[in-house]
Amino acid sequence: MILDIRRLPVRRWPAVQPWLGTLVRLGLAAVWLTAGGRAVNAYQVMPYDVAKVVGAALPFVEIALGLLLVAGLATRLAGVVSAALLAVFVAGISSAWARGLSIDCGCFGGGGELAAGQSPSYGPEIARDLAFGALAAFLIAYPLTRLSVDRWLAASDAPAGPTPEEM
């Protein structure tokens, strides 16, 4: 059974959204923490020395995003950076596909040129990254989730309400 949020009664969405957001946030965190670095040079879109620097820095960015999302801290910002990175990854995979390169994207280990006889699976890789981008978009739209530092900070910034003397 697929959950169609358009069919949820309006009064139920505020109760469902923070929990759904928590699942989305933790799912995207797992992606970033698992992904590690990519074989950036295999895409052949930048000079080798630049690709080495980007490839060395990328795992730290991915781990930082994962940790921010696990904590639920700066969730909207992490969603924006995630969406931007995923758009770059989709562009890189599309570029490799269009140029006829035969590489493994290296998203979850491996990476680099494929051995003779192996064929790349660019379509599913692009679809996967677009789906992860949809998760990031959800977090941009709904950054306050359950069990998050953001929610705790938002609650502590909320007005305290009327004092007994004001009532």
> How confident is residue 132, by pLDDT bands cut at 50, 70 and 90?
very high
Report pLDDT for 56.
Answer: 82
Report pLDDT for 19.
Answer: 95
Cα 137 → chain centroid = 9
Report pLDDT for 49.
Answer: 87
How many residues are listed for the chain in this entry? 167
Determine the Cα–Cα distance for residues 22 and 142; give it in Å rounded to an integer. 10
Determine the Cα–Cα distance for residues 140 and 67; give it in Å rounded to an integer. 17
Across the chain, mean pLDDT equals: 84
Q: 75 with 25: CB under 8 angstroms?
A: yes
Determine the Cα–Cα distance for residues 37 and 63; give it in Å rounded to an integer. 10
Q: Is 44 left (phi over 0), alpha (psi -120 to 50) or beta?
A: left
Predicted model pTM: 0.81
